[in-house]
């Protein structure tokens, strides 16, 4: 079973909403939103790892779709960068919070990087959607087609055309 479509929406939602909560907490000096933002962002970073791992599994099949390679590679790059930066940012914030240094200018720098991560996860989600809608990656028809192509030594082309009257 392909778990990637089940998981991918979590990092998108958690990182974006976590960043919004952080913005409210930092700009509005609201401690509740700072704690909530950190929790959501940390969960988003964790689910990014799961999304990347399950995405690698899906890419093994999708890479055989004609013309997909460059777009698949770009999606992989965006997803990997998002996961890496999100995890590093989460660990950095945990350290700074523990040391009581997550204040002032540090918060604004963190927020700026958090916004960049939110943009990255959005771009990664968009490119992933294009892989599905433009190439059919991960859909049953394309998986069946790829299986048929690998099982059959030759393939008879279909000539199904719709003609309006």
**21 confidence band (pLDDT: 50, 70, 90):** very high
Q: pLDDT for 90-146, tens place per residue?
A: 999 999 999 999 999 999 999 999 999 999 999 999 999 999 999 988 887 766 766
What does the pLDDT read at residue 106? 98
Q: Provide the residue ranges of all domains of the chain, joining segments of one domain with +.
A: 8-150
Residue % of the chain over a pLDDT of 90: 74
End-to-end alpha carbon distance in the chain: 43
Residue % of the chain over a pLDDT of 70: 86
What does the pLDDT read at residue 99? 97
Please state whether 24 falls in left (phi above 0), alpha (psi between -120 and 50) or beta: alpha
- If we measure between CA atoms, which residue out of 9, 16, 122, 89 comes closest to residue 55? 9
What does the pLDDT read at residue 148? 63
Which residues neighbour 120 within 8 Å (Cβ) at sequence distance 6 or greater?
Answer: 78, 81, 82, 85
* Mean per-residue pLDDT over the chain, rounded: 90
Identify whether the C-beta of residue 51 lies closer than 8 Å to the C-beta of residue 10: yes
- If we measure between CA atoms, which residue out of 117, 96, 111, 87 comes closest to residue 29? 111
């Amino acid at each position: 079973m392909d778990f990637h479509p089940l998981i991918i929406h979590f990092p998108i939602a958690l990182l974006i909403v976590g960043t919004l909560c952080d913005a409210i907490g930092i700009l509005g000096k609201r401690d509740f939103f700072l704690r909530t933002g950190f929790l959501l962002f940390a969960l988003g970073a964790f689910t990014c790892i799961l999304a990347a791992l399950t995405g690698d599994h899906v890419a093994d099949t999708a890479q055989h779709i004609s013309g997909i390679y460059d777009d698949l590679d770009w999606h992989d790059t965006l997803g990997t960068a998002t996961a890496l930066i999100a995890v590093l940012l989460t660990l950095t914030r945990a350290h700074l919070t523990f040391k009581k240094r997550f204040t002032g200018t540090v918060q604004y720098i963190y927020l700026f990087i958090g916004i960049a991560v939110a943009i990255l996860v959005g771009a990664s989600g968009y490119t992933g959607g294009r892989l599905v809608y433009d190439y059919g990656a991960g859909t049953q028809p394309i998986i069946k087609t790829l299986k048929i192509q690998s099982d059959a030594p030759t393939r008879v082309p279909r000539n199904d055309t719709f003609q309006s009257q």
